[in-house]
Amino acid sequence: MSPSASVVVSRAYSSPTTMKQNHLKRKRNDEHEQTKPRPPSWEALCVLGPYMDPETLAVASCVSTTWLECFSSDDLWKALLTSRSSQRSSPYEIVLNNNTDNISCKHLVSAVETDAKRRRKDQVAEPVKISLTDLSFIVHASTKTKKASVYKKGQDLEFGPNDKFKIQVDVSNAAITAGEDDVRMTWQVMYKGKFFTLADTTRSLDTKHGWFTDELEDKCNRKLVGDVKPSFNGEDVLEKIGFSIVDSDGWGSLLLDGFLRYLQRFLLE
C-alpha cells in the first residue's frame, strides 16, 4: 500500500471520539483568535501621541517597529517642544531660541529632560517636618456674581508614598459656566493658625482644558507653576477644580513629600 493510501485509510478509520476532540480543538482555536485583542492601529497611535509626556513617548517607541515609527515623528516632538516652550521661564524656550535646526526635536527634548533629572537628583532632600494631617486647605472660585468656597482637611486626602500631590474640590454649587470671564481661583493652606496662599489666578473659562498659573514663590528658586485642571458637567457647568504643582524644569509634578517640604519653608519660618 502506498503512503498516500495509508493516510487515507488511517483517516477513514479514526474513532468518532478522536474526530470530536479535533473538532473541539479547532473550535477553541477559532474562538481564541476571534477574542484576542487587536493592537491599536497606527492612526490611533498618532492621535494619542500629542497627549503623552516625553518619558511615556520614549517608552512607547520601544514597543514595536510600528510604534517606533509613529512616536518618533519629528512633527510630534516639535509640537511638544513648542507647547512647553510657551510656558514662562521654560528651558525649552532657551533651546528653541538657539540655532538647533540640525538636531532632531526628539533629541532636544531628551537632552532637556535628562538635564532636569540630573539637577533634581543633585539636590539633597531635607527632612519632612510637617504632616499632611496638620494642614487644612481652602479653595475659592468666584466671578463678579458667583462664589464657592470649599474647606478640606489634609487628613481627608489620601495619597500613596509615591503619589504626586493633587487636591480636587467640588465647586458646582457656584454654577460657574464655561465661557465666563474673570473667574478667580485661589488655593490657600492653613497650618496652626498660619495662612499661606499657594496660587491666586484670574482668567476666562474660554476653554475646558487646563492651564498653568504664573510662577509660584519658592525658597529654592525653582521654577514652579500651578497646574489647574477644571472639569465640567454635561451642561458646561464648572464641577470640579484640580490643582497640583509642577516644576517647569522638566515638568515633573511635586510628590507629596516634595509638596510638604515646599510648604514647610514658608510655614516653619
Summarised one tens digit per residue, pLDDT across range 161-180 is 578 899 999 999 999 998 88
Rounded CA-CA distance 245/248 in Å is 9
- Residue 12: the pLDDT is 43
Lowest mean per-residue pLDDT among 9-18, 98-107, 130-139, 167-176? 9-18
- For the cut 50, the answer to whether the pLDDT of residue 10 exceeds it is no
CA 54 – CA 81 distance, rounded (Å): 10
Please, what is the average pLDDT of the chain?
77
Grid cell digits, residue 27: 473550535
Residues β-bridged to residue 186: 140, 200
Q: What share of the chain is helix, strand, coil (3-state, %, to 5)?
A: 40, 25, 35
- pLDDT of res. 105: 74
User: Could you give the CA distance from residue 134 to residue 128 in angstroms, rounded to a whole number?
Assistant: 13
Amino acid at 76: L
Residue recorded with cell 481564541: 32
Residue 185 has pLDDT above 70, yes or no: yes
Where is average pLDDT lowest: 38-47, 79-88, 136-145, 259-268? 38-47
H-state helical runs in 123-214: none
Q: Which residues pair with 196 in a beta bridge?
A: 189
Cα angle vertex 200, ends 199, 201, to 5°? 115
The model's confidence at residue 35, banded by pLDDT at 50, 70 and 90, is low
Q: Is the pLDDT of residue 37 over 80?
A: no
